[in-house]
Structure 1
Amino acid sequence: MPGIETPGQGVDGGELAGPDLARAALQAAREQSAAKRKSRGAAGKPGKLRTARRRRGWTGAGPDDRDPQPLGRLAARIAKDQGWTEHLSGGQVFARWNSLVGEEIAEHTKPVQLKEGELTVQAQSTAWATQLRLLQRQILKRISDGVGRDVVKRIKVQGPAAPSWRHGPRHVSGRGPRDTYG
């Protein structure tokens, strides 16, 4: 038909290329879509096209669990749900030992174990072990202020570790090397 453009052909009957071909395809798609809407019929009053409203799974105006969350908040919620908060706060005692007890005490001591609220601390010398026993209440207060209440309830202080005479995988019980001295 002269004067009517079909996809792929121009008004003069020549082949379309590039942007003209894209415009013609878009116009054809629009016409086809309009024809489908008319064939569906009217909903309610004559003359009005039916609009299909589908409920989407998007969140509303308020905050929702599906909204993006900061990573720290998600990690805290997962730790709480899994029951890891006690272990994480116990780990804070080890990680922040220098700032909790002070540089001078931290230089001569190290936390060894935290089990059921009892923190085991090993001192570098017996003099420091005695000093820690005297400062026990102040250290407990500093830890509870820094990490949280009831994370550490008691402190068990150990002196320096004695050297071990065990070497290798096999061992014979007895007094060890001391029994050969006399």
Structure 2
Amino acid sequence: MAEPDQPDETEQGSSHADDGLDLARRTARSLAGGPPARKPRRRTVPRAETRGGRPPLSGAYPDERDPQPLDTTVDRLVSDRGWELDLRVHGVFARWAELVGSEVGEHSTPESFTEGKLVVRTDSTAWATQLKYLAPTVVRRLNEELGHGTVTLLEVVGPAAPSWKRGPRSVRDGRGPRDTYG
């Protein structure tokens, strides 16, 4: 029987927790063969109502809803999108002078990488010739950084020639500046 100053289980609200003295009473009744005590019904709250429209906290152990370290999140994004090789190639582009040497790096710039072909632009035709002689060494060094067989061809191009197609009096299929230096 319940004590007079203590409310009975049935009088308690739905927010009552089953612990302590109430749990001991219910256990004793069930072992004594008395009528089984009813467990208070819990009110089920829809997921959207739990914290002002936000999902509930994840609890004591970490899961995917917890804040994640940035490096873990970025690594997962890179692997999901298949960007590993692209990032390594752009890392090589950023360290170009370190990989090929400071003198060659001052006079050449990597422009693009597609399907194993690396295009490098030099600032003079003399440096283009020099880099063509160094191509096997540069390809070997790049494959050490990126993985065996990543770079298969090194295409070296000289400086871009100026375009004479601009101006109010340009002529299509004209000879260019030859007739003006007379």
Above 0.5 in TM-score? Answer: yes
Structure 1 residue runs of 5 or longer lacking an equivalent are 1-31
TM superposition shift of 1:165: 1.6
Query: Match for residue 47 of structure 2?
Result: none
Q: 1:125 to 1:77 in 2, by over 3 A?
A: same
Q: What is the distance in 1 between the residues matched to 2:124 and 2:113? A: 21
Written as runs of structure 1 = structure 2, the 5 A alignment for 1:30-179 is: 35=7, 37=9, 39=11, 43=26, 45-46=28-29, 57-58=58-59, 60=61, 64-168=63-167, 171-173=170-172, 174-179=174-179
User: In the TM superposition, what are the counterparts of 1:1-12 in structure 2 within 5 Å?
Assistant: none
Aligned residues: 147
Structure 1 stretch displaced more, 171-180 or 38-47: 38-47
Deviations along 1:55-103, whole A, 9 cap, x unmatched? x84364xx75445433122112101112222322222122121222121
Which moves more between the two structures, 167-176 or 89-98? Answer: 167-176
Structure 1: distance between partners of 2:181 and 2:167? 22
Gapped runs of 5+ residues in structure 2? 13-21, 31-36, 45-56
Letter of the aligned partner of 2:80 in structure 1? D
Structure 1 residues 79 and 50: alpha-carbon distance in aligned structure 2, compared to 1, 3 A threshold: same
> What TM-score results when the alignment is normalised by the length of structure 2?
0.62
Q: Which residue of 2 aligns with 1:19?
A: none
Please identify the structure whose Cα radius of gyration is greater: 1
Taking the aligned partners of 2:63 and 2:76, their CA distance within structure 1 comes to 15
Counterpart of 2:119 in 1: which secondary structure?
Answer: strand
Determine if contact 2:58/2:65 at 8 Å carries over to the other structure.
no
The percentage of aligned residue pairs carrying the same residue is 43
Structure 1 contact 92–147 (Cα < 8 Å) conserved: no
In structure 2, relative to structure 1, the CA distance for the partners of 1:44 and 1:88 (3 Å cut) is same
Tell me if the contact between 1:121 and 1:158 (Cα under 8 Å) persists in the aligned partners: yes
CA contact (8 A) 1:90 1:151 kept: no
Residue 163 of structure 1 and its aligned partner are, at CA, apart by 2.2
When the two structures are superposed, what TM-score results if normalisation uses the length of structure 1?
0.62
Aligned-pair distance for 1:107? 0.8
